Structure 1
Amino acid sequence: MNRIFVRFSLLVMLAVTVASFVIYFVISNLFGDPFEEIALKQASGQIFLLEQYVDKAPADEWLQRLNKVREISRVKFELIPLKAALPLLPAKKEASLMRGEVVLDAADKSFFRRVDLAGDKYIGSEEEVIHAEDLPIDVGLAVKVELVRYVIVALFLLIPVAVWSSLHWRGLQSLSKVARDFGEGNLSARATTKKTSSIYPLAERMNQMAARIESLLEAQKNLMHSVSHELRTPVARLEFGLELLRQDVKKTADGSAAEARMQAMEADLIELNMLVKELLSLTRLDQQQENRHTQFSLAEALHDCVGIMDHALSGKLLKTDIGAGIGLMAGDPRLISRAVTNLMMNAAKYASHQLVLSAHRLADGAVEVIVEDDGPGIPVEERERIFDPFYRLDRSRDRATGGFGLGLAIAQKAALLHGGNIHVAESSLGGARFVMRLPSGL
């Protein structure tokens, strides 16, 4: 059963219930209590007997006729003082009793009526009240009839609601599946709904949005992939030409100045090659929809990352806190290692003296890998943007330290492919603190 119908049916039943009480109170205030009217009809025989038989008696026979009625009737008739009867009635009915009218108490199955207004029946009769109890009053049947009536009304309201909500729910489930597939990387996912469906306009707008996003992302991927591959050809030609030039310079008498220029050119070529490799890595991650799930030792993978960092530390101190009990996790060890290495490379560039790599398992089974440094840190307003490709906080500093602004973007995409994330905070060392949270995946 869909949630729309459940919620709507509860709302309808609540509305019908509230409407029933409102109708009852409005009718009671305008025309009198309908249940009291029913009770009055049920007690009409006893009231008729009192008014047409007992009250028609001469004054000296009034009590005798009342006693005869007591003998033959199952209803209990009692004479009580007026002062004792008034506290038994609601304040709004006291005036009716004082006027000599029959005052019904349906809840107690009884009624009250003054014996006489002028004292003509017998001495002191104006100060007494007839109290009839155990009247044949039963409003339960009327209540049941009203209840059945409102249940039938509610059902006839809920049947079309159930049909409509069922169709609506299936359409929403279809949209939800498309949104989930699209979010998981299936950019060709589209919603299929009938034109008569109530959600058809929404589905059409969603399909248009998905098509636009798919075309933009595809154009971006194609552009990056094409640029990366096209760069390789001139770079290869430059490398070949540079090598030929080097051989020609060696044949000259003094080629030291030319050699220095060629070394600078060679460094630029190495940088271009690194840029091409990073672009291709980023493109492959964009096109990858899921990682290869294999179980591996996270501690061993992190220690391998530490070994790779030896050449990049430049005399800076690297501390590690990797517990042997961190255990296994499921995922792509190559991507995890690449993400951690990129975070450590970034920390090594900007650390003043030291950086720290630590890892621990959380109570929910997830793993946190933390990389900290004692560098200048990252401003709060920039902490989200540093994961954008080619974004740099300080371009002059990046030129001095190297890098293209792709390492953190690659690390973030690797974490997202594993269902995790990376966020930045301030480190106790004074610099940046990168926290990569990954589900165990086991």
Structure 2
Amino acid sequence: MLRSLIRLYLVVVLGCGLGIAFVSYSFVRLFHERVTDNTREAERGYAFVLSDYLARHPGPERAAALAELRKHGSDGFSLLTMRDVIPLMDDTQLRDLRDGKLVLSADGHDYYLPLPDGTIVHAHPNEPTNLDLQVLAYGVIALATLLAIVSWIHFHWRDLRKLQMAARAFGAGNLATRAQLSKKSNIYELSQQFNDMARQIEASILHQRDMMHGISHELKTPLARLEFGLALLQSPEPAERQRERQRALREDVRELDDLVTELLTLSSLEQGGRHVAPMQVSVGELIDSVAASIAHDIAARTLTLTVTTTEAPAHHVCDPKLVARALLNPIRNSARYARHAISLRAAVGAGGVLVLTVEDDGPGIPIDDRARVFEPFHRLDSSRDRHTGGFGLGLAIVRRVALVHGGDVHLDNGSRGGARFVMTLPPLPLPDAARAA
């Protein structure tokens, strides 16, 4: 702190010194006309007395009169002619002299007073310096400046120390640490940015911890089944039983492959819009392709799927593969719990937003669980069987797809008492190549 204080103080003192020097040596030249007018007004009586005194001592007596004046003052009087002052002045000053006005020199130290007979009195006042008083005055100013800087630095450094301690605690692993500063602090905005960063990092680390816990839990079950199945293959059994064991092992391998695929998809979506390939697609064709891909599963469960696109826009700019993937997940979720029917509806919202709604007539989802269903590895079904509970990643992928499109997804009550998933997708900007085409 001391080093910072010294540096700041030296910079301030140097700046003040340069400012004083600039004012002292430049303002008279910059505002010469105004200073001259003020001097004429202030010295009008003095100029009258001086002019009258010299007028009463004409000719040879004038030199003796000036010598007498020098004894009683320090103005350094001398007599000049117009020819003498022409090289020293500009046109404006010469015009003022001819008009009988007092004229200041460019630096403001000398003045020239024209007399009625054409003679010009030149005076160079020697003002007392009072160096000791000037040193004392500037010392008082420097001390006041130092006190002001110390006061400001004290509160500023106190807040910086608080922010430093918060950063150190956060770096040591206390993710809940936040910088608590007054709104009047000079670095309050910086502390708020630190707190926002800390919250984001904390959320990201906790999310990664949950992901790792969920991944490890999901991998244990199929790996255990694989290990158990391989051990059973070593035992002597009939050929038909061996083939059943092999089919079960292949199913476990496919389950692992599906889990890895889901994790890779979620991981790529977590990175933002870098993996999004926007293009202009026909909304009707996109919805029909999704319905066709799921039609067999819907029929196998003796359900009906109703598709409505009458209120949908003709075209929309999005990533069709991601949107199709995002639609399949809530439809499969609805197919798992629906009693008789599922509806898929596409419509246009405010600002050209594409609104996709999937609704079923199942038991619905409790209000307390509606926000959590979009978290990775969260499943309402307590079963861990792959045919009922799934991996718990489908709706998390839906949410990420909506977010990378600049939209969102939420869950509420359907008109039939079941769950209703509503996904909003604003139009994405087309790449330059697609726009040109």
TM range (shorter): 0.3 to 0.5
TM-score (norm 2): 0.47
TM-score (norm 1): 0.47
